[in-house]
Structure 1
Amino acid sequence: MDAVSPFAPRTLCFYGVRVWLLMLWVWALPWAHASQNPVGDVVNVQLRWHHQFQFAGYYAALEKGFYRDEGLTVRLHAGAPDRQPVDEVLAGRAQYAEGNSEVLLQRLLGKPLVAMAAIFQHSPSVLLVRRDSGIASPHDLIGKKVMLMNGVGDADFISMLQNEGVAPHRLTVLPSSFNFDDLLTGKVDAFNSYLTNEPYYLQQKGIDYTVINPRNYRVDFYSDILFTSENELRNNPARVEAMRRATLKGWRYAMDHPAEIIDLLLNKYQVEKTRAHLEFEANAVRELILPDLVEIGHMNQGRWEHMAQTFLKAGMVQAGFSLDGFMMDSAPQPLPSWVLPALMGALGVSVMALGAVWWVYRVNRQLVVADNELRAVNQALQASLSENMGLQSLLQEKAIRDALTGLYNRRYLDEMLERELARAKREGYPLSVAMLDLDHFKAVNDTYGHLAGDEVLKNLARYLQSSAREGDISCRFGGEEFVMVLPGLTVADACRRLEQWRTDFAGAVTRHGTLEIRVTMSIGLAVFPDHAASVEGLLQCADKALYRAKNAGRNRLEVGA
C-alpha cells in the first residue's frame, strides 16, 4: 500500500476552501465591477488656483493612469478669482474639488460638504510683509492696509487676530488684487500669500521680508482638502472611494518623483514658473504634507473639532454645530446597488458548495488544536511586542523630559532649537529665546529644604506650561534655570508676554505643607534675527541679558544687545 502524506488533509482542506472562494468571487465580481465604476465615468475636479506644483498629486494620478485604472475620466479645472472650489461643487459644476479651511467653515454654516482627505497637514496661508515696514506681528497690523480674500477664505487670519486680541475692524482690509506687486510697491502693507509660492519672488528680488504665520499664533489648520458633496457620496459611494484612492496614490507618486512632475508642468501644462521656482514650491509643499511622518491624506476628528472651536471663538459660526458625517469615513454611506445581487449569487454558490464544505470541515477539525496553539503563541508574541514597543516609547519620552518638572530637558532643547531656528530662517519669522532664573533659589533650599525647593521648581514649570501658546516650548535648562522658545514673537511681543509672566509669578505662592513661599525670577531675552542668527549666539545673548538682570537687582527682564 502506498504511503499517505501527512500533509494530504491540510492540502485538501486549503484546496477546497480555495475552490469555494473562487466560485464566490467569480459570481460577485461582474456585479461589483460593473456597478461601482463604469469605465469612462467623467468627473470634474476644481483646483484652487492656476496649475502649479501645489496640485502635483492630481497631475500624477492623471498622467500615470491611476484614475483610468479606477474607471474614471478626470478633468482638472484650474482655479480663478471667480471660480472657487466650494461654489463649483455646490453648484454641481464639479463633483470634487480641493479647498482650504473654508470647506469646514461652510459645512458648519450648513452646506452639504464632505471632506475626503487632508493633503496638507499645515496650512500654507500666511501674510507677507516687507522687513523694512517694521511689521512683525498681528499687533503691528493695526491701522495698516492688509490685503485679504475678504470672505470665508480668510478664516486662518481672522482666527489669528482673534487669538491675539486684535479686532479685524482695526485693520484696513482690502480685497485681494491677486497682484503681488501691490506689496512690492507699497500699495499695501501686508499681502495674503502662500508659503509655497510668493516668498520665492521676494527672495529672487533680494527683498527682506517677514512671514506672519497663523500657526505661530495657535491657528494650525488642515489645508488643500479633497472634498465632495453629500449628494455625490450618496449617489456614487464607490466612485468617491475610487477618486480618493487614485488621488492619494497620485500624491504618493508625486512626493517620490518631484522632478518628473516638474517636467510635466513645464512641458504639458506650460506653466509660467521657472524650474527653480517649481523646485522651491515642491520643497515647501513637502514640508506641509509631511509624507515621511504622516500618511498622506490623514484626517483626525479631534483636529477638525479644534478647528471648529476656533471658528466658534472667532464668532464665525454659532454654537450647537455637529461634525457628524463631515469626514468621509464617518459619513453614513448607503448600501451600493451591486451588493444585494452579489449576495444572492453568493448564497446560491454557497448552497452548491455545502457538501464540499462539510468534508472540509471534518478535515479541519483535526487542525483546530494545532491552530489554537499557534494562535496562542502568536498572541503572546504580539503582546510581548506591544509591551516592548510601549516601553521603548516610554524610554524615548523619558530621555527628553526632566524627571522633576516634566518639562523638556537640555538634550531636547539642543535638538529642537536647531530645527526651530532653521524653520524661522526659511519662513522669515522671528524666534524669541528667553532664559528664566529663580532669584535667591539657594536661600530657598537652605531655609526651607530641598523638597520645598523642588515644589517651587514644579510650580514654575506648571505656570509656564499653562501660560504657553501652542507651539511654544518649555525646557528646564538646569538647576533653577529654564528656557522658553517662542516662535513668531518679536522683541516687543516677547517682552509683553515675559513681563506678564514675571509679575504673575512674583505674586504667586508656592505651598509646601504649612509653608507659603514667594519667589521672583529674572529673565534674559534674545531674538532672531535682531540679536543673533545661530543657536549658540541666541543662548549666549540671552544668558548675558540674564546676567545683567541679576546684576541690576533681580526680578526684572533684560533684552539682548
Structure 2
Amino acid sequence: MPVRLSVLAKLSIAAALLLVAAPGMALEKVTLQLKHAHQFQFAGYYAALELGFYKEAGLDVRILEGQDGNAPERDILSGKAEYGTGSSNLLLARLAGKPVVVLAVIFQHSPYALAMRQTGGDPDLRRLIGKRAMIGSLTDELGNADELLAYLTKEGVPPASFTRVEHSFNPQDLISGKVDAMAIYTTNEPDTFDRLGFPYDIYSPRAVGIDFYGDNLFTSEQEIANHPARVRAFRAASLRGWQWAMSHHEEAADLILNKYSRRADRQHLLYEARQMVPLVQPVLVEIGYMNPDRWQHIADVYASLGMLPKNAGFDGFMYRVDTGRGNLVWLYRVLGVAALLLVLGAAIHFSMLARERRRALETIRQGEQRFRTMFEASPLGIALIDSISYEYRDINARYQEILGRTQHELRALRWLDVGHPDDIVQVKAQMALLTTQQISSFKALSRLFRPDGSLTWIDVSVTAIDTEAGSHPHHLCMIEDVTAKKQSEALIWQQANFDTLTHLPNRRMFMDRLAHDMLKSQRDKSGIAVLFIDLDHFKEVNDTLGHQQGDVLLVDAARRISACVRKSDTVARLGGDEFTVILCELEDTAHVERIAQAILSRLLQPFDLGQEQAFVSASIGITLYPDDAIDIDSLLKNADQAMYAAKGAGRNRYSYFTPTLQVAALSRMRLTNDLRSALKGEQFELYFQPIVHLESGAIHKAEALIRWNHPQRGIVSPLEFIPLAESSGLIIEIGEWVFREAARWVQHWRQSYHPDFQISLNQSPLEFQREGGSYDGWLQHLQALALPGQSLVVEITEGLLLDASNAVSTRLLQLRDAGIQVALDDFGTGYSSLSYLKKFDIDYLKIDRSFTRNLAPDSSDMALSEAIIVMAHKLDLKVIAEGVETPEQRDLLATAGCDYGQGYLFAKPMPATQFDAFLRDNAMPSAESIVKSN
C-alpha cells in the first residue's frame, strides 16, 4: 500500500523538488514495449496516455506493439525501451542473472489455458496423449508455456507424450482439426469459438493449484538506479490508467478502436474486458499489488520443472514503492532542506495533525464506499463465506438473482445447500485444499437448484481471503450464470450427433459408438453384428402421399426397429430410408437372426398415415465383427453389399455378407469404371433386329439394341451393363448416343430402301423421368437430318405409366406432337391397367416373350394373347409379338390378328452393316402394299 506522508515530509519533498527541478522542464521521453499486438489486455496504458496521466507525471510515453512475447525483455535489456509488459517467466530471467525488476502485477491470475475439441463425454486432459498440440513457441526451451507444461506434467501428460507444433495463434487450426489442442488466452479465443459454434473444453492450470500471475509491468535495475523519480511517476500513472480502464469498459473499447487497432471488433473487446475482471480482480485487490508468497509459489513450480533450484532466492526482483530515492546528492539536498524546515514543520505539525486524520478517515470512507458500489454493481454474483461454518457473511444483488433467493433466505441457508449433490463432492474436496492452504483459489463448473426446482449451471471461482489472526478464515465466492451457454452447447451437440427427424443417432454418432463397441469387443472377446436396413418401396410412398407423410413413416419405422433390440444396442439413421443397428456382446448368430426377423415382421405391418395406409418391407444386410472385417469402413461396405443381395433376392428378407458378394461388388465397380470410358473409346455398337409384318412378310421396322464390345471381356450383355449405367447416371449419355446412331441409320435405310422405315428405341425410365429433360434436342437433330418424327418409335415400360406426374404426361404429349410413336414394351408382365391405355397416347403394344414362348392352340397363353390383340385393336393400337421362334407360333399369332412379329424365326439381332445387307437380300414390297398392311 502507498506510504502516507506527514505534512512535514510533504513540505520537505516539495522543497527538494523546487531545488532540483528546473522551471519549464520538457517532458521526459520513454518507451513502453508491449508483448503482443494492441488489444484490451493493455487498455490501462492506452488510458494513461490518452487521458493525460503520463503527461501530468512529466512523461512523453511511446507505446509499441510486440511481435513476439520476448520483445519486451529483449528491448529493455538492450536499452531500446525503458518499460515493458511480461509474464511470470520474468522470474526465470531474473534468476538467470538478467537485471529485470517487476514494478506491478496487473493480472492477479494468468489467462493462459489449454483448449480441446469437446467430444460429448466428460472432459479428460489425457486425451492429448499421442496427439498434436500448439503450446508456445518451439524456438526456446519452454516457449512461454511454462505454466501449461507444469500443469500437463502434474496431470500425467508429460511433454514427451504428445507432439508440440509451432503456435500459429489461429483458432481455425483447432476448429478444422489440424491440431487437437491449442494454448489460448481465456480472454480472447473462446469468443471466436463461441461465435463459430465450436464445442470446446478449457483446461486451466489453476485447477491443480498452479496459479501464476498474468501480465506484469517491469523495468531494469539501471532505470531504477538512474531515474527513480521517473520510475515512480510512470508506475503511478500506469496504475491510474488501469483503474480507469477497468471501470470504463465501453469507453476504453472505443478508445482502442479509434486510436490503436481495429483487428478486433467492439464486441470482442468488451468480451475481453469482461473476462479480465475475475483475472485482474479490481474490486478485491488494489491494481498493481503483488505478494512475495505468490512469487515463491511460481518459483516452486519452476523448480518442479527443473528450471530453478529449490528455495532459490529472488531479492531485488520485486519493486518497493519506497525504493530508489535518488543519488546521494539528491539525498543531501533533501536532508538540508528538511533541517531548515524542521522548526517550521514542528510548529505547524500538531495543528495539521487533526485535519490530516479527518482527511484520512474520509479517504478510507470514500474508498470503502467506492469498493462497496463496485461490489453491489458487479455483473458477477459475489458472496463472502465463512470457511468453517459455510455461513454467508455478505452477498451482492447479482448472487441473489442467480440463486433466485433473497438475502434473508440465503442467510438462513449454508453455502452449497442448494448445490447439486454430484457437484458438492467435487467442490468440498477443493475447499479442503483451500482451507489447508494447499491452494489459494480454484474454479469449478457446478449446478444449483432454484426455488422452482430448475437447475442452473454456474461457473464458480473461490478464493481464500486473509483475515485477522484468531478469526475464522473466509473465502470469496464469485459465480456466473452459464445456463444459456450450456443449453446452447447441449443443443449443438444434439444436432451434431442425432438425427433431427427420428432422434436416433446419426452417422457421426453411429461411427463413434461402433468404434467404442469394437474396442469393448476386443477386450471381452465377444462378437458384434452390424445390420444395414433399407426400406423397400419407400420412394413410392413419398411420390404418392408426399414427403411429409414419408417423414411420418420414417419416424414410426425408427420406433419399430428400436423396439426390436436391447437398450445396450444402437439403432441409427444414416439418411433417407437407411437405418443401421449395432448388436453387441453376441454369443451366437441365432440371436442376430431372431432380431432381423423381428424387424422384418414389424415393418411389414401397415403404417397408418392419417387417412391413408402404407405398406413397405425391408431388406437387411448383416455383417459380423471380427469374422468379416476388422475396420469400420469395411464393415459398412460389407453390410451394404449384403443388403443389396437381399434386395436382389426379392426384398423383405435378410442376407449375410459373404466373400462372393465382395467379389461381385468389385466386379461391378470395375465394370462401371470401364463403362465410363466406353463411349469415348467407341466400344458401343448398335445391333438391329427386324420387326416383320405378319400378313405380308414385309420388313419395314426394326428394333435398335445396344451392345458393348469390351476390350478384354468381349461382348457384354445389356442385362449386365444397363443397370450399372442407370445407377451411375451414364444412361443419359448412352441414350443420346443410341438416338443419334439410330437416326443416322434410319436416314440411310429410308433413302436406300423405303421412305417409311421405322426404328424402335428402348428408353430407360431414368432417361424418361429425368428432371429438366425434353425431346427438343432430338427434334432439332431429326430436323437437321430431314427426318420426320414417324421415323422413330420410343419403347417404354409399363412401370412408367404408374407415375402420374406432369413430367411423364408432358413428355408423352411432346412425342405425340412431334409424330414420334410410342410402344409399350413387355406388355402383360408389369402393373398395366386399361385406364392407362385409355389415358395416354400409345401406338403399339409388345406382347412379352413369356406369352409367346408357350403358344399352343387352346392354351391359356394363347387365350391371353388373343385377348390382348382384340383389346389393342378396339383401342386402335397395333400389336407386336416378341420371341417368335417357330412357324407354328407365327401362324397362331397371324390367325389371331397380331400385326407384327419379332424373334429368331425371322432373324437374330445383327450389326448395322450386316442388317443393311439383310435388307438388300429381303427386298420389300411396293409402297402401296406397305401402306395397306399398316
State the TM bucket, normalised to the shorter chain. 0.5 to 0.7
Residue from 315, 318, 333 that aligns with 1:341: 333
> How far 1:345 sits from its partner (Å)?
3.5
Counterpart contact for 1:124–1:223, Cα < 8 Å:
yes
Residue 250, structure 1, aligned to residue 253, structure 2:
no
> Which region of structure 1 is more displaced relative to structure 2, 116-125 or 321-330?
321-330
For 2:158 and 2:345, the matched residues in 1 are separated by 72
Write the letter of the residue equivalent to 1:121: Q
Residue 144, structure 1, aligned to residue 131, structure 2:
yes
> How far 1:43 sits from its partner (Å)?
0.9
Residue from 399, 421, 425 that aligns with 1:434: 425
Q: What's the counterpart of residue 51 of structure 1?
A: 38
Structure 1 residues 189 and 24: CA distance shift in structure 2, 3 A: closer
For 1:250 and 1:159, the matched residues in 2 are separated by 33
Aligned residues: 398
Counterpart contact for 1:41–1:73, Cα < 8 Å:
yes
CA-to-aligned-CA distance 1:86-128 (integer Å, 9 cap, x gap):
2222222111111111112222222211111110111001111
For 1:463 and 1:74, the matched residues in 2 are separated by 45
Counterpart contact for 2:27–2:60, Cα < 8 Å:
yes
For 2:169 and 2:302, the matched residues in 1 are separated by 25
> How far 1:235 sits from its partner (Å)?
1.3
> How far 1:342 sits from its partner (Å)?
3.0
SS at match of 1:74: strand
Write the letter of the residue equivalent to 1:58: Y
Residue from 181, 185, 191 that aligns with 1:190: 181
Write the letter of the residue equivalent to 1:180: P
CA-to-aligned-CA distance 1:476-533 (integer Å, 9 cap, x gap):
xxxxxxxxxx999xxxxxxxxxxxxxxxxxxxxxxxxxxxxxxxxxxxxxxx99xx98
Q: What's the counterpart of residue 525 of structure 1?
A: none
Counterpart contact for 2:106–2:215, Cα < 8 Å:
yes
Counterpart contact for 1:115–1:326, Cα < 8 Å:
yes
Counterpart contact for 2:39–2:261, Cα < 8 Å:
no
CA-to-aligned-CA distance 1:357-381 (integer Å, 9 cap, x gap):
89x59x98xx9xxx9xx9xxx9xxx
Write the letter of the residue equivalent to 1:339: L
Q: What's the counterpart of residue 299 of structure 1?
A: 290
Counterpart contact for 1:128–1:212, Cα < 8 Å:
yes
Structure 1 residues 73 and 398: CA distance shift in structure 2, 3 A: same
> How far 1:140 sits from its partner (Å)?
2.1
Residue from 391, 400, 406 that aligns with 2:390: 400
For 2:80 and 2:114, the matched residues in 1 are separated by 31
Q: What's the counterpart of residue 29 of structure 1?
A: 17
Write the letter of the residue equivalent to 1:400: Y
Per chain length, whose mean CA-contact separation is higher, i.e. which structure has more relative contact order (CA < 8 Å, sep 6+)? 1
For 2:77 and 2:345, the matched residues in 1 are separated by 51
For 2:124 and 2:280, the matched residues in 1 are separated by 26
Q: What's the counterpart of residue 759 of structure 2?
A: none
Structure 1 residues 284 and 33: CA distance shift in structure 2, 3 A: farther
For 2:417 and 2:114, the matched residues in 1 are separated by 30
Counterpart contact for 2:86–2:217, Cα < 8 Å:
yes
Residue 289, structure 1, aligned to residue 277, structure 2:
no
SS at match of 2:145: helix
SS at match of 1:344: helix
For 1:137 and 1:101, the matched residues in 2 are separated by 27
> How far 1:257 sits from its partner (Å)?
1.3
Structure 1 residues 217 and 31: CA distance shift in structure 2, 3 A: same
Residue 42, structure 1, aligned to residue 29, structure 2:
yes
> How far 1:472 sits from its partner (Å)?
6.1
Structure 1 residues 462 and 160: CA distance shift in structure 2, 3 A: closer
Q: Structure 1 stretches of 5 or more lacking a match?
A: 1-16, 379-393, 403-408, 422-430, 438-460, 475-485, 489-527, 534-561
> How far 1:31 sits from its partner (Å)?
2.6
Flag as ranges the 4+ runs of structure 1 deviating above 6 A: 20-23, 461-470
Residue 180, structure 1, aligned to residue 171, structure 2:
yes
Write the letter of the residue equivalent to 1:267: N
For 2:432 and 2:231, the matched residues in 1 are separated by 47
Write the letter of the residue equivalent to 1:338: W
SS at match of 2:217: strand
SS at match of 1:434: helix
Residue 117, structure 1, aligned to residue 117, structure 2:
no
Write the letter of the residue equivalent to 1:281: E
Counterpart contact for 1:129–1:135, Cα < 8 Å:
no
Structure 1 residues 300 and 33: CA distance shift in structure 2, 3 A: farther
Q: What's the counterpart of residue 425 of structure 1?
A: none
> How far 1:237 sits from its partner (Å)?
1.3
For 1:103 and 1:395, the matched residues in 2 are separated by 35
Counterpart contact for 1:117–1:226, Cα < 8 Å:
yes
> How far 1:209 sits from its partner (Å)?
0.9
CA-to-aligned-CA distance 1:60-85 (integer Å, 9 cap, x gap):
00001000111111110111138622
For 2:260 and 2:145, the matched residues in 1 are separated by 29
For 2:433 and 2:323, the matched residues in 1 are separated by 44
CA-to-aligned-CA distance 1:324-367 (integer Å, 9 cap, x gap):
111101896364442322322443x34xx85x789x59x98xx9
> How far 1:246 sits from its partner (Å)?
0.3
For 1:131 and 1:246, the matched residues in 2 are separated by 43
Q: What's the counterpart of residue 302 of structure 2?
A: 311
For 1:227 and 1:120, the matched residues in 2 are separated by 13
For 1:473 and 1:326, the matched residues in 2 are separated by 29
Q: What's the counterpart of residue 492 of structure 1?
A: none
> How far 1:436 sits from its partner (Å)?
12
Structure 1 residues 169 and 330: CA distance shift in structure 2, 3 A: farther
> How far 1:152 sits from its partner (Å)?
4.5
For 1:269 and 1:462, the matched residues in 2 are separated by 46
Q: What's the counterpart of residue 554 of structure 1?
A: none
For 2:60 and 2:217, the matched residues in 1 are separated by 17
Greater helix proportion: 1
For 2:16 and 2:105, the matched residues in 1 are separated by 33
Write the letter of the residue equivalent to 2:89: E
Counterpart contact for 2:69–2:86, Cα < 8 Å:
no
Write the letter of the residue equivalent to 1:93: K
RMSD: 4.5
SS at match of 1:338: helix
> Which region of structure 1 is more displaced relative to structure 2, 212-221 or 117-126?
212-221
Write the letter of the residue equivalent to 2:201: T
For 1:462 and 1:72, the matched residues in 2 are separated by 49
Counterpart contact for 2:416–2:424, Cα < 8 Å:
no
Counterpart contact for 2:229–2:324, Cα < 8 Å:
no
Q: What's the counterpart of residue 206 of structure 2?
A: 215
Residue from 408, 411, 414 that aligns with 2:414: 411
Residue from 218, 223, 238 that aligns with 1:232: 223
Q: What's the counterpart of residue 557 of structure 1?
A: none
For 2:117 and 2:66, the matched residues in 1 are separated by 28
Write the letter of the residue equivalent to 2:336: M
For 1:310 and 1:97, the matched residues in 2 are separated by 24
SS at match of 1:329: coil
> How far 1:261 sits from its partner (Å)?
1.1
Bigger-Rg structure (1/2): 2
Residue 262, structure 1, aligned to residue 253, structure 2:
yes
Q: Structure 2 stretches of 5 or more lacking a match?
A: 1-5, 362-383, 393-411, 445-457, 461-481, 488-934
> What TM-score, normalized by structure 2, do the two folds share?
0.38
Counterpart contact for 2:33–2:65, Cα < 8 Å:
yes
Residue from 66, 69, 74 that aligns with 1:79: 66
Counterpart contact for 1:101–1:153, Cα < 8 Å:
no
Counterpart contact for 2:209–2:442, Cα < 8 Å:
no
For 2:134 and 2:50, the matched residues in 1 are separated by 36
CA-to-aligned-CA distance 1:283-319 (integer Å, 9 cap, x gap):
1112211111111111001111011111101212123
> How far 1:397 sits from its partner (Å)?
5.3
For 1:467 and 1:34, the matched residues in 2 are separated by 53
Q: What's the counterpart of residue 204 of structure 1?
A: 195
Q: What's the counterpart of residue 87 of structure 2?
A: 100
For 1:400 and 1:292, the matched residues in 2 are separated by 22
For 2:245 and 2:427, the matched residues in 1 are separated by 46
For 1:464 and 1:237, the matched residues in 2 are separated by 39
